[in-house]
Amino acid sequence: MPEASNGNALLSVQNLQTWFEMRRWGFIRVGFVQAVDGVSFELKHGEAIAVVGESGCGKTTLARTILGLYPPTSGRITFEGREVKGSALRQYRANVGYVQQDPYGALPPFLPVQRILEEPLIIQGVRDPAERNHRVRKALEAVKMTPVDNFLSKFPHMLSGGQQQRVVLARAKILEPKLIVADEPVSMLDASVRVEILELLRELQRKSNLGVIYITHDLSTVRFFTERIMVMYGGKVVEEAPVKELLANPLHPYTRALLAAIPDPDPHNAEVQKEVPPGEPPSLLNPPPGCRFHPRCASLIAGRCDAKEPPIAEPAAPGHRTACWLYADGDA
Amino acid sequence: MRALLARAQELRRYPSAILGLAMICTLVILAVYAMATMPYREAVRLWQGGEGVWDENPRLAKPSWFNAFRKVKLPPTIVVDSAGRPETKQRIEFEEEGEADVLITLAFDYQYDVFPKELAVYLTANFEKVAPFASFIWRTPDGREFPMTSTSVRTRDSYRISQDRKLQAELGGRQPEIGLLAADPWAETPVPLKGRHELIVDGIVFEPGSDLDARLVVYGQVHGIAGTDHLRRDITVALLWGTPIALCFGLLAAVGSMSTTMVLAATGSWYGRWVDGLLQRLNELVMILPMLPILVMVGTLYSRSIWLMLGLIILLSIFGGALRIYRAMFLQTREAPYIEAARAYGAGNLRIIFLYLIPRIIPVLVPQFVSLIPTFVFLEATLSLLGLGDPTIPTWGKVLNDASQNGALFMGHYYWVLAPSLLLIFTGLGFAMLGFALDRVFNPRLREQ
């Protein structure tokens, strides 16, 4: 939601829209699924940002659009001052790593680890096999898969879930990117391995000054390593703030609901009913007018929330922005 | 690759796989043996037949090993040649310059209860101007003599005793091979007279240095491992050489059609949109084309070359149900996260199709591939049986075609039909058993409890 991109930003996303066309019988346009609708943010070098939201809120689509897997319907993605488009895409891809949710699915099951890690190098034109081998070893060491020789010839199905995810991390890292997009990197792992992987990601980020976009639905892991957090709902960003600030002082009603939904380990609260917003996430094919959360919102202001999109406000602290009519001064 | 090998290890648990593999190995050994012992040109020359190639073979003889199961043994072919055996030849010089009497005695010991199939004498003479003259006499072990024809002898000549109508009339209408060898040619059911029969060729040469040689062939009732056909050809040649041709044809057709189908399916499902649409419509179009009639048409009107047929078969088998099934598999695979990751690190379309999509479904297709091979072997045999086989090449189907055209079953020449049929069944069974076992290994859901 920052207004203008400054020169030293690593990645700048401006008013990004990713819409999918829906057709009936192959040619009659029914409408668009507005999976990502007007997202803007900026990421500095070495900064980690978390994108949270429930399933279907568009966070994975956002990640894929940023990775260049989906063409944006409109808006701009700028990487180190250059717009990511056409011929710039190839170079951009060498600078962006991707960590997926399902570690087993993310690795081609018919290739050994060595080859899996070599693939990006081959594609990006590293011709010398000795150099490739060297870099593969370095990457495996960086993700603490040692001794490296034990793993080089293994196939993905011979590795544990945690090891698989390390290989995925090593692959994301092997081209020495400046940005890593991690789409729920630990949600399919055992709790015991999660911390390990997150610590590893954190370490890699600090060491190589990586920018990280960390996508998750699990707020408890966010605190672990990101500085900033973006909350998405219905394809839009509803709140953006530094992590501590957001957890301490959530502004948007949706953020509050989300925080309230975090499982509480206190046994006294086991029987306490939590307040959960009624209804379901909106259909992105036919989003509600105005604020997309308004049909479920407890603090609905009739005639406003359901009519016009809320403006962005920064009412509490600098850098803590939200899009909600509750904080709008005047009727912007 | 290593995963494939690991799966192959699992095959050992299936006896049918072992048996199937053993059968395929037998066929491969047979094929290698055929190619090693008989060059392709030689095989084609032998199968084309022609002058002098099969002179010493009986027509429609049964396989030799039939004798092992018979009480009354059938005679094999006996050849007695005077060339290189001076003891059979007597030369009496006449007073006149250069003229001589060459007396050739070709004797053989006949110990069978069944008459031979035919009798023939092949003659070779060398002379400059005047051809030698020869007359033939048959002498039985009990001393009876049958004078036969007299004729002048060309450089290469033959006298087919069995076809001598005059002799037949003199023997009371008996076929010469029966009449001459019988103990009593006038008996109701003649039996062969065992002992030393002799053919005496009484030749006169008219030039100095002119000479005459004779070779008596007593055609037997059995020949070789597989017998002979109506053109005296040894069926073994076709059975042997049919093996590499069948295997090669089946393998090439299976590899050709399956790999093309795979690439097309992968391309279509990866690019989607109009590429996929076009391929699908094309597939539907070709699917309704009847393969066999088209092959028959091309074979009749254009060419029967085995390579043309192979190409056509591949072309027509690319499309069909398989393309749809593979496409469905690829549509599933293309959504895999690792493909998405590959796109994210910049893999191009071709790389994704050939290195990421196709290898993923190869294990699933290995059993199908193995089972596909014999269907093409059968198809080739079918074409040959319909008379559309390559005319130059000996194949199993060609043997069947000859057999059916010459009423083999009607005439009781079962060996002629059974040998190639059994080889075809053997091939089908071998590949099918291996294929089924592979299917169980590669598609564990089919595994029995």
**Residue given tokens 């092992």 in the structure block:** B68
* Of B158, B191, B219, the domain-final residue: B219
Interface of B with A in 358-377 (CB under 8 A): 359-360, 362-363
Q: Give me the count of residues in chain B.
A: 449
B35 and B139 share one domain: no
* Surface of B (314-343) touching A: CB under 8 A: 336-338, 340-343
Please check whether residue B129 touches A, CB under 8 A: no
Looking at the structure, tell me whether residues B19 and B84 fall in a common domain. Answer: no
At A312-322, the pLDDT tens digits run 777 777 778 88
Q: Is residue B426 part of a domain?
A: yes
Residue A207 · residue A222 · CB < 8 Å: no
Contact B345 A106 (CB under 8 A): no
Q: Judge contact between B239 and B420, C-beta under 8 A.
A: yes
The phi, psi pair for B332, rounded to 5°, reads -70, -45
- Check residue B319 and give left, alpha or beta (phi > 0: left; psi -120 to 50: alpha): beta
- Contact assessment for residue B270 and residue B357, using Cβ atoms and an 8 Å cutoff: yes
DSSP strand pairing (B100-110 vs B78-81): unpaired
pLDDT given at position A273: 67
Q: Which of B 37-76 lie inside 8 A of A, CB atoms? A: none
Within 112-171 of A, beta carbons closer than 8 Å to B belong to 112, 119-120, 123-124, 155, 168, 171
- For B139-150, give the secondary structure using H, E and C: ECCCCCEEEEEE
Extract the residue ranges of chain A whose pLDDT is less than 50.
Answer: 1-5, 331-332
8 Å CB contact between A234 and A57: yes
- Is the Cβ–Cβ distance between A49 and A228 less than 8 Å? yes
Q: What is the pLDDT along chain B (449 residues), one digit of tens a residue?
A: 566 677 777 778 888 888 999 999 999 999 999 999 988 888 888 888 777 778 888 888 888 888 889 888 889 898 988 888 888 888 888 877 778 888 899 999 998 888 998 899 999 888 888 889 999 999 988 888 888 888 888 888 888 888 888 888 888 888 888 888 888 878 888 888 888 999 999 988 888 888 888 899 999 888 888 888 888 888 888 899 999 999 999 999 999 999 999 999 999 999 988 899 999 999 999 889 898 899 989 988 988 888 899 999 999 999 888 899 899 989 988 888 889 888 888 888 899 999 888 888 888 888 889 989 999 999 989 988 888 888 788 889 989 998 988 888 888 888 999 999 999 999 999 999 998 888 888 776 554 44
B53, part of any domain: no
Residue among A100, A112, A124 minimizing CB distance to B341: A100
Distance from CA of A275 to the nearest CA of B (A): 36
Interface touch A123/B3, C-beta < 8 Å: no
Residue B225: inside a domain: no
Q: Where are the alpha helices (DSSP H) in B146-290?
A: 165-170, 176-181, 235-271, 273-287
Determine the distance in angstroms separating the CA of B321 from the nearest CA of chain A, rounded to an integer. Answer: 23
Range of the domain at B34: 2-48+233-446
**B266 and B369 within one domain:** yes
CB–CB contacts below 8 A, A to B: 63
Interface test with A, best of B333, B345, B354, B365 (most A CBs within 10 A): B345
Copy the structure tokens of residue B87. 């003891």
Question: Would you say the C-alpha torsion A135, A136, A141, A147 has a positive or negative sign?
Answer: negative
Mutate to test the interface with A, among B4, B334, B338 (most CBs of A within 10 A): B338
Q: How far is CA A174 from CA A73, A96, A310, B337, in A?
A: 30, 10, 42, 18
What residues of A are in contact with residue B348 (Cβ under 8 Å)? 123
Q: What is the CATH number of the domain that holds B357?
A: 1.10.3720.10
Q: Would you say residue B62 lies in a domain?
A: no
Indicate the residue among B219, B247, B280 that finishes a domain. B219
Amino acid making up residue A142 = A
Q: How far is CA B115 from CA A292, B191, B218, B260, in A?
A: 104, 8, 10, 58
Q: In one letter, which amino acid is B255?
A: V
Contact (Cβ atoms closer than 8 angstroms) between residue B200 and residue B139: yes
How many Å apart are CA B247 and CA B427, to the nearest integer?
Answer: 9
Q: Rg of chain A over CA atoms, in angstroms?
A: 21
Same domain, B334 and B392: yes
Q: Does the CB of B356 have a partner CB in chain A at under 8 Å?
A: yes
CB contact under 8 A, A108 and B340: no
Work out the widest C-alpha separation in chain A, in whole angstroms.
67
Identify whether B23 is part of a domain: yes
Domain boundary among B219, B241, B269: B219
Using only C-alpha atoms, what is the Rg of chain B?
Answer: 31
What is the CATH classification number for the domain harbouring B77? 2.60.120
Neighboring chain A residues of B351 at a CB cutoff of 8 Å: 123
* Whether B444 contacts chain A with CB within 8 A: no
- Would you state the pLDDT for residue B208? 83
Among B150, B99, B149, B148, which Cα is nearest to B127's? B99
Angle made by CA atoms B436, B440, B441, in degrees to the nearest 5: 115
**Cβ-Cβ contacts under 8 Å for A327 (sequence gap 6 or more):** A251, A313, A315
Q: Are residues B321 and B410 in the same domain?
A: yes
pLDDT, position B1: 59
Neighbouring CB atoms inside 10 A of A277's CB total 18
Of B346, B351, B360, the CB nearest to A110: B360
What is the H or E stretch that residue B260 is in?
helix B235-271
Lookup: tokens for B391: 């005319």
The answer to whether the CB atoms of B2 and A155 lie below 8 A apart is: yes
Instruction: Classify residue B67: in a domain, yes or no.
Output: no
Torsion B60-B66-B70-B74 (CA) sign: positive
Q: Can the peptide bond before residue A147 be classed as cis, meaning omega within 30 degrees of 0?
A: yes
- B393 and B315 housed in the same domain: yes
Residue B65 lies in a domain: no
Task: Tally the residues of chain A.
Answer: 332
The CATH architecture of the domain made up of A9-263+275-281 is 3-Layer(aba) Sandwich (3.40)
Q: Are residues B215 and B237 in the same domain?
A: no
* Residues of chain B with C-beta less than 8 angstroms from the C-beta of A69: 340, 343-344
Verify whether the Cβ–Cβ distance B338 to A120 is below 8 Å: no
Number of domains in chain B: 2
Burial label for B286, CB within 10 Å (0-12, 13-18, 19+), is middle
Contact B337 A101 (CB under 8 A): yes
Residues B157 and B179 grouped into a single domain: yes
10 Å CB burial of residue A257 (0-12, 13-18, 19+) is buried
Q: Using CA coordinates, name the residue in chain B closest to A115.
A: B355
Reference B225, options B209, B238, B207, B212; nearest CA is B238
Q: A69 CB near a chain B CB, below 8 Å?
A: yes
Distances in whole angstroms, Cα of residue A309 to Cα of each of A239, A251, A313, B41: 14, 17, 12, 85
Is the domain of B319 the same as that of B196?
A: no
Strands A48-52 and A211-216: parallel
* Residue B58 within any structural domain of the chain: no
Same domain, B177 and B249: no
Distance (Å, rounded) from C-alpha A170 to C-alpha B337? 16
- Residues of chain A by 3-state class (helix, strand, coil), percent to 5: 35, 25, 45
Q: Is-contact B244 B166, C-beta < 8 A?
A: no
Cβ of residue B350 closer than 8 Å to a chain A Cβ: no
Find where tokens 């090993």 sit: B65
Q: Which of A27, A119, A173 to mutate to test the interface with B (most CBs of B within 10 A)?
A: A119
- Ramachandran class of A58: left when φ > 0, alpha when ψ lies in -120 to 50, beta otherwise: left
Asked if residue A47 lies in contact with residue A10, where contact means CB atoms within 8 angstroms, the answer is yes
Helix (H, G, I), strand (E, B) or coil at B43: helix
The SS3 assignment for A88 reads: helix
User: What is the model's pLDDT at position B243?
Assistant: 92
Q: Where exactly are the structural domains of chain A?
A: 9-263+275-281
| Pair (B153, B276) in one structural domain | no
Residues B365 and B255 both lie in one domain? yes
